Amino acid sequence: MLKIAHLYPELLGTYGDGGNALVLASRARRRGVTVDVVEVTLEDQIPDADIYLLGGGEDGPQRQATYALAKDRALARRVDDGAVVLGVCAGFQILGTSYDVEGDITVEGLGLLDAVTTRGPKRRVGDLLTRVGSRWIVGFENHGGQTELGAGVSPLGVVEEGFGNGVLTGDAGRHVDGARVGRLYATYAHGPVLAQNPWLADELLGLALGRDLEPLVSVADQLHRERVEAVGDFHGAAFAN
C-alpha cells in the first residue's frame, strides 16, 4: 500500500495545493496500486507515510505549521528513512533553513533544505514556466519571498517565465525555481503543480514505489503540453519540445 500524508490542510491549503494528493492517488490507483490518503491536522501525530505534501499558506498559518513540525522532528526522521516530500511555496520555505515574515521576523525552518528565504521588494504574482532538463513545469506563483539555495542544493529548474526563487547565486542573469535534494522536492508553482505537470507526479510516485512506472495515457499530458505552449507563446519564452 502507498500512503500519502497531506500535512495541515487547514493551514497550508490557501492555493488549492491539496489537489496534489488527489492527483497522486488517482495516478497510482489507475496503475493498480492501493492508496491511503491521510489529512494530518495540528491535533494529529505525523504518521508514517511514503509521500508527504506541504502546500501554500499565509504568514501566520505558515508559522503554526513550522512550530508543529519542529516539535518532535517526525518529518525529518521520515525523510532520513527515505520518504518522498513535496513542498510548495510556504511549504518550500518551511523545509528550508529560515524564512522571513511580515514585521521583519525571521522564523527558523526545519533545515531539511539549505535554503534561506528573505522578503523581496515586491510580491511576485503570475505564470511560472520552468525548464527541468528536457521537460517543463508550468504553474502559477504568488509569493513575497525570494529564496537563496545553499552551495550543495540544486534548483529544481531554470525559470523561462516568472520569478521563482529569484536569481541563482553567482549567475546574475538566471532565475531558478525550487530545489531538489534526494527525495525532497520544492517549488513555488501552484496549480496544483502535480495536476498541471503529470510527469512530475509520476516521478514522485516512482520514487515512493521504488520502480519505473508503466506509461499512463491521460488527457492531463495533452493539457500540460498545451499549457506550456500557451504560457511560452504569450510571454515570448523560447522553449524546445
Give me the active site residues, please: 89, 190
Cα–Cα distance, 192 to 208 (Å, whole number):
20
The closest of 122, 102, 100, 95 to 187, measured between CA atoms, is 95
- Apex CA 204: angle with CA 45 and CA 49, to 5°? 20
Cell of 106: 525571521
The closest of 130, 98, 132 to 112, measured between CA atoms, is 98
CA-CA distances (angstroms) from residue 106 to 35, 89, 122, 169, 214? 38, 17, 18, 21, 44
- 232, 239 in Cβ contact below 8 A? yes
Cα–Cα distance, 43 to 116 (Å, whole number):
28
Which element (helix H / strand E) includes 175?
strand 175-177
- Apex CA 200: angle with CA 196 and CA 203, to 5°? 155
Cα–Cα distance, 133 to 9 (Å, whole number):
31
List of E strands, 133-169: 135-149, 157-161, 166-167
Strands 157-161 and 115-132: antiparallel
